[in-house]
A and B are shown apart, each in its own frame.
Chain A
Amino acid sequence: MGSKSRIEELNKRALENLQSKPKYGPDIDLSKYLKQITPSDRVNGFNSIPEALKSKMRNVGIDTKEESKAGSYIQLDHDMVYKKKLYPTIELLSLEEALKDDEFIENYYWRLIDVGQDKFTAAAKLYGHGGYIIRTREDQRLDVPIQACLLIKSPEAFQAPHNVIIAETGSTLHVVTGCAVMPESVGLHAGITEFYIKRNATVTFTMIHDWNKVSDVRPRTAAVVEEGGVFINNYINLSPSGLKSLQAYPSVLLRGEGSRAFMSSIVIGSSSSYIDLGSAITIMGKNSKAEIVSRSISKDKAQIVARAKITAQAPNSKGHIECRGLMLSDGSKIWAVPELDSTVKDVELTHEAAVGRLAEDEIFYLLSRGMNRDEAVSTLVRGFLEVKAPGLPKMLEEQIKLAMDISTRGL
């Protein structure tokens, strides 16, 4: 990497902020996580990965047979263990490879996210390892996704990969990424992801998470979309047995004229999970369109804050927020916080938010078609979580469906 002084500056700012409290979500004492863990060895393919890990991967939408994929990237704890490009012309690197050899990463590394934002970004800079760099060629259109899997398997591991996705002018890229933690591990995940979607490029990014009861999760994500670009982001947190805490608030800047962003999040909160999750989109290019959709289900004692914010600063902006929460128990909590903010007159920003229980007339309807109550409830819960994200390849849609079917069983 060319600019040594910039890296030094980033490290300095990170060090200064290693104790900075996060704006949202509970604070975490990082000290127990920041220790050496046993490195993971490279593998030749999914065949060399133990079945227990593979089955975990399948739960988060990873296709361990690698059918109809443009490439795969697997990271265990800190280390990239496997990388394969099935489309030779696409760039797929680990962060370390990119930093070592390529000048280009300089313009994309820590450019959208402030390394000093809070202790998690700081720790990611100072103690993070790995992460994937994906870059398309101009006008390259991939109709099958690249898949990335980030798995925590060691106890008390701190996993903070730094991912960078660059879609060059006119290209189309689909990425599906699955993150999970093995049941026996206490882990902290604080991945950094930066997206650069250039003129008339389209990126769909689907992230499926499956954490355990003792996981803390603090991803930091930002995207910039240029003229005519499209960013479609789907976040799905399954974690059927619950997690300790999750806080994320990815932000998208629609910088170019006629750019679009669709951000969806689907969250199931169970046991004593604390979840503070949202998306923010700022519209700076005129004639642009932002949409945020969220579905939250709370059961047991779970606490969910569902945030969404659209800020319009350019004429002829359109924005819509759809925030729905389904309460499955007393004592759990859903707090929907939709925000609309405009500084120009020629805009159309709307939101709808609803929190409630399952409708008895819908349950009765399914009973009257012969389902028992459990079947009817699970059908309605599954239906509630169904969000039709635009632009996904059919194969990927089916994979997501499968992962959600597995996790919503017995909800």
Chain B
Amino acid sequence: MSSWLDYTINGLIVGNVYALVAVGLALIFGVSRLINFSQGSIYLVGAYIGWVAVVKLQTPLPVTIVLVATLAGMVGLIVERFGLRPLQNSVRIAPLLATIGISFVLDQIVMLIFSPNPRALPSQLPDVRFQVGGGTIGPLDLLIAAVGVTSALLLFLFLRYSKLGWAVRATAQDRDAAMQMGVDVNRVNQAVFGIAAALGGVSGMLVGMYYNQIDTAMSLQATLKGVVAEVVGGAGSVPGAVAGGLLLGLVESYGVALFGTSYRNLFAFLLLISVLVLRPNGLFVSARQAPPEPLTGTFVAPSRPVRLPPWALLIAFAVFALLPLFPVSSYVLQTLINAWLFGMLALSLTLVAGTVGQVSLGHAALLAIGAYTSALLSLSLSFPVGIAIICGGLMSAALGTLLISPSFRLRGHYVSIATLAIGEIVSLVILNWESVTHGPIGVVGIPPLSLFGYELVGAPSVYWFSFVVMVLLALLQVRLLASHIGRSFRAIRDDDVAARAYGLSLNRYKSLAFIFGGFAAGVSGGIAAHLYSYINHETFNTQQSILALTIVILGGLGNVAGAIVGSVALVGLPEVFRIAAEYRILIYGMVLLLLVRFRPQGLLGTI
């Protein structure tokens, strides 16, 4: 029985850590309704500033904390001033994408300065341990808890009783009205980003000390867990974020206790999904509070899409169709094959995110479902590869729609978070369902692509195959969008209340979109599996989901041609920047930021 006490304490200890990250996220979400994907990077920056202070300057702890808070806060101000403020009159999606770009840039700068090797960040607190249950806790555990609770309390008081706090809340409720009442909205935003960044920096440093280890990979993990904790607690609520963090820690700890370590994150994300479905406002926010502004409609930039003349499309088609006949290297062809595969994924995402307004952050899961289905069918049941790939597409359509269906009632950001969680769940199920997926060992020896008995192994034949499949899917999607179904999709995106009043069944149309989109993504995954010959649970990861979303936004949400242009650009750019070696992801992040800044509606515009 005493073990349960230990599990509880351990859950609270790690929950503490999650809470600290979640508080910063909650603050920003509360004011700007923005999931700040760069919060994890500020956390990283704070940890490394802490390392410089502790190891190089040997400052005492209070000085270290002040130094980290000040410098991280300044980074936050810079991010706000140059990364986000120029976008304030832009569409909602632009700042979201900008935070992703900023996190690339910050992570890479830290990596270039400090090298990717992990470093020890020694704790400056006396090394005494207190016996609690079977284990011990140290002063750092208490300090982290104290910082979490105190900052939540201070923020709560600040928001409720100070004048700037009122301004913050007024801005959160209605920006324009606040401006009319004389609130300097920019100053409010600045204050919020500064505070959140200072807090984020200090948490990064404390957590680094807690584990005596900092490395450049800590940023994405921190963001993921922070987002989960924040949403569980109630997005935008600071005390809720603390409670959500602790709850998340407890659920993970009990999950480990009951089922074993490899199931730990599964519980975190299942918790998230159940909270989203049952209490989308979060557990600790009163249900009476006005729901956060629906982000559909305003989420997608209204713009006049660039109409590509038919002759231009024909020429582009002819050039790409005939390309392998010219002396181009197989490296160029392979890069374009990747672009076509991502093009299919982007077609799928641009339909559900752009046309129907369900911005998905877990699209790689559809790739994985298609890939595993196709690989396993062709290996264990000797299905011909072509049929196996189609089955992969169908399985992705069916399973993907089934998994997402409980989240159909969600809107805006919540859809993104739910799909993020579903993506992680699929990957964890693949890891743990060993009898079918072979777990971490992966699927080996997947037969190469073939069509009517002919193996497609050379770069040109694979190129043509993936190109033709993508073009067919694109034409099908264009046809779909021009039909009444396409109009209904857009109606749901632009105003779901009106659409429902008009008699459209939202769930039915959302299902249709996910079925079609799931098929395209599954086919893409299936082709990739046969191309790679080996897949495991890491082959289709969160980074691919984020890349897919970036492609879709870059091309223009809902824009079929844009999805393809975007994937050629974003798959091609990192290859073009190869010459820059370690700097290439930094350059990629900056290009992304510039694109968001100057063309938030995407290259070809939203439809």
Chains A and B are bound partners: no
